[in-house]
Amino acid sequence: MSLKTSNSSEKPMLPLSDPPKNQIDDKLFKGSAMTKRGAYAAISYMSCAVLLVMFNKAALSSYNFPSANVITLLQMVSSCFFLYILRRWRIISFTASESLLISDNSTKFVSLKTLKHTFPLAGAYLLYMLVTMEAVRGVNVPMYTTLRRTTVVFTMLVEFVLVGQRYTHSVVFSVGLIVFGAFVAGARDLSFDTYGYSVVFLANVTTAIYLATIARIGKTSGLNSFGLMWCNGILCGPVLLIWTFIRGDLKTTIDFPYLFSPGFLVILLFSCILAFFLNYSIFLNTTLNSALTQTICGNMKDLFTIGFGWIIFGGLPFDFWNVIGQFLGFTGSGLYAYFKLIGK
């Protein structure tokens, strides 16, 4: 017992999705439906997401890097590497009940049975990633952003089907305001394209399924956020590597003229680091709060992404209805956060 106490004081564990059983999460305030850890997870996600978009934008636009798939692969490999090192040094564990004093002579951090249990998560992630990439090609950017905002509706439906989750009238109203604001923002660019619209709505469905799957498997697999990330990377990494090889993305990357440019390498490094923290915060936010909260946070960070993107990269034309729509969407997200905090 004394040995365990000594070790835990020397090597404190990073925050996980499941608090220790003898520790109860404090609410933000009396009557709040969100815990302090849940609020920190939501804020961490939005911060990482905005910064990651900036670095990815710099790599893909400023340096004209031709393959987003390779960046995704590098981010996934880096995440697995970080997780391996942190687990090997016993700074983190992959399950809530796992002791950091276990022998590390074996590199088998997760059992084969548990790995099989996370297959649906890996499949949902790959489907979400591939469909989302195709959706970007199918429609123009304003319409893509508009239609993607409706993901909150699909998330509510998927959570209802998978786990029977029901929502209050206050939450439904705030979600309705977000969707209405999205269509106001894109009302001047509603050029209909059957294939493009279909793919974007399919992307919304796959996003909702992916987030709901995180929430469901996170509660049934016995894994914490780090464990879910590890299994997802181990299962998806080889598939993504084969995919980039078949598409010729790896060869294109080798021929990229700025591949060894110090500036590009620094941007790529920060992109991989931020992707690690972003994925961790997504798993943490979804398991601590809900898939819908994660989706709402995604909508809220859009405002900051647009603001920072306009300041840093420019090129964003002013449109009155777009501003009104963004304001309505942000107001709806703020109302959802408020209702979540006060427990309505």
Answer whether residue 133 is part of any domain: yes
Full-model pTM: 0.69
Report how far apart the first and last C-alpha atoms of the chain are (Å, whole number): 43
pLDDT(130) > 90: no
Predicted local distance difference test score (pLDDT) of residue 193: 64
Answer whether residue 126 is part of any domain: yes
What tens digit of pLDDT does each residue of 55-64 get? Answer: 877 887 778 8
Answer whether residue 189 is part of any domain: yes
Answer whether residue 23 is part of any domain: no
Positive or negative: CA dihedral 18, 107, 124, 253? positive
Answer whether residue 105 is part of any domain: no
Quote the number of domains for the chain. Answer: 1
In sequence order, the 6+-apart residues with CB closer than 8 A to the CB of 141 are none
pLDDT(266) > 90: yes
Answer whether residue 219 is part of any domain: yes
Mean local confidence (pLDDT), 35-55: 79
CB 321 within 8 A of CB 186: no
CB 186 within 8 A of CB 145: yes
Q: Which runs of consecutive H residues, i.e. helices, occur in the chain?
A: 2-10, 36-57, 68-88, 112-117, 119-138, 141-148, 151-163, 169-185, 194-220, 225-247, 249-254, 262-288, 291-312, 320-342
Answer whether residue 6 is part of any domain: no
Q: Which residues is 95 bridged to in the sheet? A: 223
The proportion of the chain whose per-residue pLDDT surpasses 90, expressed as a percent, equals 10
Q: Given the structure tokens 């009104």, which residue do they identify?
A: 324
What tens digit of pLDDT does each residue of 162-205 get? Answer: 767 777 888 888 888 878 887 787 666 555 567 777 777 888 88
Angle formed by the axes of helices 320-342 and 291-312, to 10°? Answer: 140
Can you tell me whether residue 1 is helix, strand or coil? coil
Range of the domain at 311: 36-94+110-342
Answer whether residue 30 is part of any domain: no
Residue by residue, DSSP assigns 207-254 as: HHHHHHHHHHHHHHS-B-HHHHHHHHHHHHHHHHHHHHHHHTHHHHHH
